[in-house]
């Protein structure tokens, strides 16, 4: 299993933080949440849409992106991340109760 962070680096202001923002995803949702916790991210910042469960992610500012890479996240391009998400979407849904990105989350305020 792996954690990935892309190089999107979209300039935006989110709450009190003006930065360049990227996306943090993982092969499994539980792994993603554990890694995000190590980065100091709040679970409430997890972005999840039940219509597109394969897209669950955290938005991370540049300083958190760098820290994620230091902690072992694989740096990927935004195109590589898109390919990962397309491949994930093509997989059949996992049976209920198995890790497949099915837990509800909230969007970043």
pLDDT digit string, tens, across residues 27-86 = 999 999 999 999 999 999 999 988 777 789 999 999 999 999 999 999 999 999 999 988
95 is a domain residue: no
101 is a domain residue: no
25 is a domain residue: yes
pLDDT score of 77: 97
Dihedral of alpha carbons 85, 89, 90, 91, sign: positive
Contacts of 51 (CB under 8 A, 6+ apart): none
Look at residue 107 and tell me whether its pLDDT is greater than 60.
no
Look at residue 89 and tell me whether its pLDDT is greater than 50.
yes
**Domain enclosing residue 42, as ranges:** 3-90
Per-residue confidence band for 98, with pLDDT thresholds at 50, 70 and 90: very low
pLDDT score of 66: 98
Look at residue 108 and tell me whether its pLDDT is greater than 70.
no
Counting the structural domains of the chain, the total is: 1
Strand-pairing partners, residue 91, are none
Q: Which two tokens stand for residue 53?
A: 């469960």
17 is a domain residue: yes
Assign 33 to helix, strand or coil.
helix
Neighbours of 77 (CB within 10 A): 11
Per-residue confidence band for 95, with pLDDT thresholds at 50, 70 and 90: low
pLDDT score of 14: 83
pLDDT score of 72: 98
27 is a domain residue: yes
67 is a domain residue: yes
Indicate the Cα dihedral angle 34, 38, 40, 41, nearest 10°: -30
């Amino acid at each position: 299993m792996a954690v990935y962070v892309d190089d999107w680096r979209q300039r935006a202001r989110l709450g009190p933080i003006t930065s360049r923002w990227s996306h943090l995803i993982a092969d499994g949702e539980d792994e993603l949440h554990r890694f995000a916790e190590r980065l100091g991210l709040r679970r409430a910042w997890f972005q999840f849409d039940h219509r597109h469960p394969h897209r669950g992610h955290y938005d991370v500012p540049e300083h958190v992106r760098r820290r994620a890479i230091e902690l072992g996240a694989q740096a990927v391009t935004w195109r590589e991340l898109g390919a990962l998400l397309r491949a994930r979407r093509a997989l059949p849904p996992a049976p209920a109760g198995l890790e497949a990105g099915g837990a509800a989350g909230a969007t970043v305020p």
